Amino acid sequence: MAVANYDFGLVGLGVMGRNFILNVADNGFTAFGNDLDAKKVKALIKEGGNTEKVNASTDAKTFVDSLKLPRKIMLLVPAGKIVDTVIENLLPLLKEGDIIIDGGNSFFTDTDRREAYLKKKGIHFFGAGISGGAKGARLGPSIMPGGSREAYQHVKPIFEAVAAKYKGEPCVAYLGPKSAGNYVKMVHNGIEYGLMQLTLEIYDFLKKAAKLSNAELHQTFKKWNEGRLQSFLVEITSKILAQKDDLTDNHLVDMILDKAKQKGTGKWTSQNAMDLGIPVPTIDIAVSMREISALKAERTKADELYDRPMVKPLDKKDAIEKAEKALYFAFIMAYAQGMHQLADASEEYGYELDLGEIAKIWRAGCIIRAALLADITEAYRSEPRLQNLLLSKSFAEKIRSTVDAARELVSYGATNGIPLPGLSNSLTYFDAYTSERLPLNLIQAQRDYFGSHTYERVDREGIFHTNWHDNV
């Protein structure tokens, strides 16, 4: 019979799971893993150094019996039905008060359903979004837990030990009840979609308009990463652009097919934003562009049918300077949209989110970590009820000094046939959000005309309807 002396358990010993459990062991806690694949179990034990700090088994009972009470079990398995299957397999072996943590990218309503189901059985359940990829899991991810505050207290010391650190502060915090953790991770991924789309557009613009070589692009992104655009995505972009291909004499980036894949979290963010009535056009178009990229065969046929404008070359130095400003502007728009969605979701779903705390735990470890998040943290610390970053006085100056560059790039892209949809949508979002009056009065009139849907007036209170046909 197994001896219950391990602090933490983890089901799912793929790359993420194996790295996370080794991280736990490196930070003073004992950890026990479980996976149906015997090779993965052996790999973990070997990588853990065959010490008492790390162990694993393919047998669920041995796994559960090896954990201290209350058992703290994290699942790092693919989102969907497999999560429910793992839970059902564990349930007969658990005791009241035990804790199950879903560390995957589960849809937030699934987390709410599972929490309610397990609560009736006396088992704590909560979602904890984990960002940082395999390397982050090993060296320190950003962790976004939500759910039972009581249950979180049992794993708090472990999570704070393994999380990434920003100036000594762990990038993890209890975020709120129910599915708050999974929801925040979902929006994190939506913002990630937006930032990635914006980055590739600026790369494409500089390559086509300023004729920058991969070496020059590498140096440009590297320099940007030393300034206000400092971020994980800008950093890895600079490194990607320097990577040579092992199979040819070319740069690897030029040999990679232009079809992007997705796991669905960006789409979920976009869909839920529509449900909430919150505009996130930069994220929306990022999802759509991945879908357009998948139509490779159709795009190839269409390219043969239509002429494209001759690209008017730009001065390299001027193009780089304006591209940096435009990207900084658009990054702010992507974060602003995501944070706005979080604020509204918090009200709608009762999450009680602290947006400053969320920005704070994103400053290191996660994919969207960036120097800009320190400023976002401060903005929400100064104004906890800030409705949108665009309403922050500290961000107004950052935007005013960069928006004209975004306008120039969008105009240039349209004239020269270079698609910049993320940047264009970011600019449109800014222009619409900062317009005191929009032409949507015409939509009210149209809806009342064809469907008697009524309208409101600018000069008096009330709901009105006009018999439009009588005025023809």
The CATH code of the domain that includes 343 is: 1.10.1040.10
Q: Where does a domain end: 174, 200, 234?
A: 174
Indicate whether 1 belongs to any domain.
no
3-class state of residue 439 by DSSP: coil
Parent domain of 456: 439-471
Residue 266 shares a structural domain with residue 398: yes
Indicate whether 235 belongs to any domain.
yes
Residue 165 shares a structural domain with residue 200: no
Indicate whether 180 belongs to any domain.
no
Catalogue the active-site residues: 185, 192
How large is the angle between the packed helices 403-416 and 180-209, nearest 10 degrees? 60
Query: Rounded to whole angstroms, how far apart are CA atoms 203 and 211?
Result: 11
Tens digit of each residue's pLDDT (9 = 90 or more) over 195-214: 999 999 999 999 999 999 99
3-class state of residue 118 by DSSP: helix
Kindly tell me the number of DSSP H helices and DSSP E strands found in the chain.
Answer: 21, 9
Residue 197 shares a structural domain with residue 163: no
Looking up residue 466, the CATH number of its domain turns out to be 1.20.5.320
Tokens coding 412: 């240039």
Identify the pLDDT of residue 259. 92
Identify the pLDDT of residue 263. 73
Indicate whether 274 belongs to any domain.
yes
Q: Torsions phi, psi of 217, nearest 5?
A: -65, -40
Q: Where does a domain end: 174, 199, 228?
A: 174
Query: Rounded to whole angstroms, how far apart are CA atoms 63 and 314?
Result: 62
Q: pLDDT category, 1, cuts 50, 70, 90?
A: low
Indicate whether 3 belongs to any domain.
no
Residue 118 shares a structural domain with residue 231: no
Of the chain, the percentage scoring pLDDT greater than 90 comes to 93
| β pairing state of 169-170 and 99-102 | unpaired
Query: Rounded to whole angstroms, how far apart are CA atoms 403 and 263?
Result: 32
Identify the pLDDT of residue 305. 96
Identify the pLDDT of residue 469. 81
Identify the pLDDT of residue 349. 97
Indicate whether 179 belongs to any domain.
no
Query: Residues comprising the binding site?
Result: 105, 131-133, 188-189, 193, 263, 290, 447, 453
Identify the pLDDT of residue 49. 77
Residue 46 shares a structural domain with residue 104: yes
Identify the pLDDT of residue 456. 96
Asked whether residue 108 carries a pLDDT value surpassing 60, the answer given is: yes
Indicate whether 397 belongs to any domain.
yes
Query: Rounded to whole angstroms, how far apart are CA atoms 42 and 200?
Result: 40
Query: Rounded to whole angstroms, how far apart are CA atoms 403 and 331?
Result: 12
Q: Indicate the average pLDDT of the chain.
A: 95
Whether a cis peptide bond, with omega within 30° of 0, leads into 421 is no
Residue 44 shares a structural domain with residue 91: yes
As a whole number, mean pLDDT of residues 299-322 equals 96
pTM of the model: 0.95
Tens digit of each residue's pLDDT (9 = 90 or more) over 324-380: 999 999 999 999 999 999 999 999 999 999 999 999 999 999 999 999 999 999 999
CB 283 within 8 A of CB 191: yes
Q: pLDDT category, 48, cuts 50, 70, 90?
A: confident
Residue 355 shares a structural domain with residue 286: yes
Residue 195 shares a structural domain with residue 285: yes
Residue 49 shares a structural domain with residue 138: yes
Asked whether residue 471 carries a pLDDT value surpassing 70, the answer given is: no
429 CA to centre of own chain: 19
Asked whether residue 3 carries a pLDDT value surpassing 90, the answer given is: no
Indicate whether 12 belongs to any domain.
yes
How far are the Cα atoms of 189, 222, 283, 358, 363 from residue 131, in angstroms, in the given order? 9, 23, 18, 13, 12
94 CA to centre of own chain: 33
Residue 259 shares a structural domain with residue 372: yes
Q: How many domains does the chain have?
A: 3
Identify the pLDDT of residue 372. 97
Residue 143 shares a structural domain with residue 190: no
Q: Where does a domain end: 174, 199, 233?
A: 174
Asked whether residue 470 carries a pLDDT value surpassing 70, the answer given is: no
Query: Residues comprising the binding site for substrate?
Result: 105, 131-133, 188-189, 193, 263, 290, 447, 453
Residue 77 shares a structural domain with residue 157: yes
Looking up residue 19, the CATH number of its domain turns out to be 3.40.50.720
Identify the pLDDT of residue 262. 75
